[in-house]
Amino acid sequence: MALKRHRYCPHIAVVIAAVVILAVLCGLGPTAAGAGAGGKVVVLVVDRIGVKDITANATPYLWRLASHWSAGLMITHTAERENGKEPDLGADYVTLAGGARMRGSASAALSLGADEALAGDGAGTAAGPYYRQLTGNTVLAGGVACLGFPNILRSNVETGTDSNAGLLGQLLARSGKTAAVVGNEDDTAGVVRFAPLIACEADGIVDQGRVAGFAVPAPSEPGGKRTDMAALLAASRKLLASSDFLVVDTGDTGRVDRQWAETGQAVLDAARARALRRVDAFASGVGDLLDLNSSALLVVSPGAPMKDRQSGDYSTPFIAAGKGFGKGLLTSSSTRQSGLVNNTDLAPTVLGRFGIGVGGDVIGSAMKTGGTAPGGQSSLAYLKDIDRQLGATRQARWPIVLGFLLLVGVFLLLALACLPGVARALHRDRWREPLMRALRPVSVVVLAAPVSFVLVSAISYNGVLLPLAFCMGYALLVGLGAYFLARNSRRIDPVTLVCLLSGGVMLLDLLIGGKLLFFPLLGSSSLEGMRFFGESNAVSGMFLAYAVWACAGLMGEREGARKTAAWYSLAGLAVVSVAMGFGTMGADFGGFVAAAATTLVFFFALRGSFGRWRVPVIVGGTAVATGAIVVLDALFVHTHAGHAIAAGSSKFYPLVGRKLLILFSQIKSVLFLALLMITVVLALALWMKKPAFFWSSRWASDRAWTAALFALTIGSVVALVFNDTGITMMGTMVMVTIPVATYHFVGKVGKIPSRDAGMAARHSK
């Protein structure tokens, strides 16, 4: 028997070793099922980091968590003005809880425990009694008061979002769920405690929490302190046992980044690396507290690092593990892009884990796992590639687009120099005809260029040269190809061919999910089209202008078919408008309003019946169409506008009012320019309808062309009024119109009549 035991000992040893290795490997992955608390949601705040900070070496636990569960890039835009140097007002934290773009306050970081003494108060007044005296709200023992909350409410009144402050905590409390908060980012300068703004209710109070006592002196670290992770983990374990929703502020990464202006880059990078190692070890400990079969762990960075913000990068990593999530990329209905979510999506995501619905106050949507990364990439590798491409897009945006706009300006000046009066004044009759002939193919090339700024999203690049070569090559190939292919055609001219091709490409892209809207060069911000799913106003204006000019070109000067063609144009532009505004395609509601108005103006102008009673028809028709698109959204898509109408008039009408408040508060920064542009454009529209000799002849000889110009003129004013970035929409509509108008103008080359000939002609009349 002894021989037998010795004989089988090696096999037993192998089995034991295998079991040990398996146990170790399992310990390296996400928390095992049943290992901790169930039915919980923990939000782990790792502030001021980028997706490039999460690596297998620097943050092994977070890296494995993102690889085995769901990860995405979170866009951290708020209602505050963002320029890369914005003050630290806590708007990013308020937005996470509000489910809408929110503003902060200079006092937003002042959160204290109920029994914590106010700094500088010789009498030792506790925060709880002080807050009750300030607001009338009672802070229970063990609770936390956000002392700056009244100021936050006041700062959001102007945009109509004051009711969203503390909305997440309020809805949790109404459903019988308990929220708690733990941790801080205090430094030697004072308290920095934004995390309670995620968990507090509408009165600015978190019923359970501990926000003091975790920051210990660390003179060698930026900020002079670091988090005592052991004490933070012990407090987290205690609060998790008595709460359903727990917000944990790890502290160190945010504390380090807030010293970016006073710290050298090398020192800052080293401190960030140390902070990330401490935070990663702590995150592993928190993961061990949870049963991810029935709980959820959400790792969020509320704000981007200041260095990234300066370059226009407001994206941060978001990791979701546990119940309701799988392995892959995060997405939501507010982005409809795999790997991309919004900070406004956090509140509906947390509420959804508890089965709590959201109403019209919330514009975000619950996050979900949207599939794996393409090409067999890991989720983090794909997200880092997106982040890299976003950076390259920001780098290439202004040189290419501004260069093109300068060329358009020169092109416009040359076109104006061909006007008879201008050419006569310049005594340049000899070169006028050759210049006009040269401008015809050039105008088609210029017309083809704008859509290349969207198509460039289909290629990957790291600098400026490749996208520049792509845009130039596309414009030359398509523009000159269309010119030589259709210049002698009686059925279709080159500009109409380019407009059809460009509008068709944009429509097809919307039908297949808006893939080309991911990295557009064209727009008014560094993350154009990524705040919410759909077309930006810049792209919408370009799409609309291409579509209108395509309809006008197809109609041409066929007088007999004018009325029939008007109905066909109405149908075609209606399709374009719906694609622009419907939730599963364009989802640009402001753009839809401008498109609907432009479509109706174009229709009546084509039919030659633009009487006074048509004006209220256009206004009413636009309003009805906008209402219809919102109803369709509510029935079939359920985006934020759908949430509002589904919740009834008590939610829908406040949302509309809020949208108007936001619109007019945002347009104030460009109010003078906007009013000037509205005045100029309306003057042009009135001049076009004045029965003067020039426009009377244009309406008679080329109604389709004149109607298109008139409709886009009116539509650009609507776009400017009903969109917060309406100037960019107006600008892209003009950008497409200039080469079209130039091509039509220079089509009729003739000599300039002399002054004597002109006088003789007038005397003969």
Q: For 206-224, give the DSSP string.
A: ESEEE-SS-EEE-TTSTTS
| Better pLDDT: 52 or 617 | 52
pLDDT digits (tens, 9 = 90+) for 515-539: 787 788 887 555 554 545 667 888 8
The dihedral built from the CA positions of residue 342, 348, 351 and 355, taken in this order, carries a sign that is negative
Does residue 199 carry a pLDDT above 90?
yes
User: Residue 336 — very low, low, confident or very high, per pLDDT cuts 50/70/90?
Assistant: confident
* Ordered alpha helix ranges (H), 556-588: 562-581
For 320, phi then psi, to 5°, come to -125, 125
| Better pLDDT: 667 or 89 | 89
**Rounded to whole angstroms, how far apart are CA atoms 710 and 606?**
10
> pLDDT above 90 covers what percent of the chain?
50
pLDDT digits (tens, 9 = 90+) for 403-424: 999 999 999 888 888 877 776 6
Does residue 648 carry a pLDDT above 50?
no
The predicted structure's pLDDT at residue 532: 54
User: Residue 183 — very low, low, confident or very high, per pLDDT cuts 50/70/90?
Assistant: very high
| Better pLDDT: 353 or 431 | 353
The predicted structure's pLDDT at residue 32: 46
Strands (DSSP E) found in 60-184: 70-75, 111-113, 144-146, 179-183
Does residue 614 carry a pLDDT above 90?
no
**Rounded to whole angstroms, how far apart are CA atoms 45 and 114?**
22
Residue 238 burial by CB count (10 A; 0-12/13-18/19+): exposed, middle or buried?
middle
**pTM of structure:** 0.82
The predicted structure's pLDDT at residue 693: 66
| Better pLDDT: 561 or 573 | 573
Does residue 644 carry a pLDDT above 60?
no
Least confident window among 36-50, 175-189, 595-609? 595-609
Range 263-267, long-range pairs (CB < 8 A, 24+ positions): 263/222, 267/222
Token readout for 739 is 């080469």
Does residue 8 carry a pLDDT above 60?
no
Least confident window among 304-313, 670-679, 729-738? 670-679
The predicted structure's pLDDT at residue 619: 84
Q: Say whether 3 sits in a helix, a strand or coil.
A: helix
pLDDT digits (tens, 9 = 90+) for 357-371: 887 678 888 999 988
Average pLDDT across the chain, whole number: 83
Nearest to 445 by CA among 743, 122, 729, 39: 743
The predicted structure's pLDDT at residue 533: 60
Does residue 646 carry a pLDDT above 70?
no
The predicted structure's pLDDT at residue 362: 83
The predicted structure's pLDDT at residue 611: 63
Instruction: Please report the domains of the chain, with CATH numbers, ordered by start residue.
Output: 39-372 (3.40.720.10), 387-745 (no CATH)
User: Residue 293 — very low, low, confident or very high, per pLDDT cuts 50/70/90?
Assistant: very high
Least confident window among 348-352, 396-400, 560-564? 560-564
pLDDT digits (tens, 9 = 90+) for 270-280: 999 999 999 99
The predicted structure's pLDDT at residue 21: 41
Does residue 113 carry a pLDDT above 60?
yes
Provide the terminal-to-terminal Cα distance of the chain, rounded to the nearest Å: 132
Token readout for 472 is 């130039």
Does residue 17 carry a pLDDT above 90?
no
Does residue 468 carry a pLDDT above 90?
yes
The predicted structure's pLDDT at residue 4: 35
The predicted structure's pLDDT at residue 757: 41
The predicted structure's pLDDT at residue 759: 39
Q: Specify the residue for token string 């920001």.
A: 394
pLDDT digits (tens, 9 = 90+) for 655-698: 555 555 555 555 555 556 666 767 777 777 777 776 676 677 77
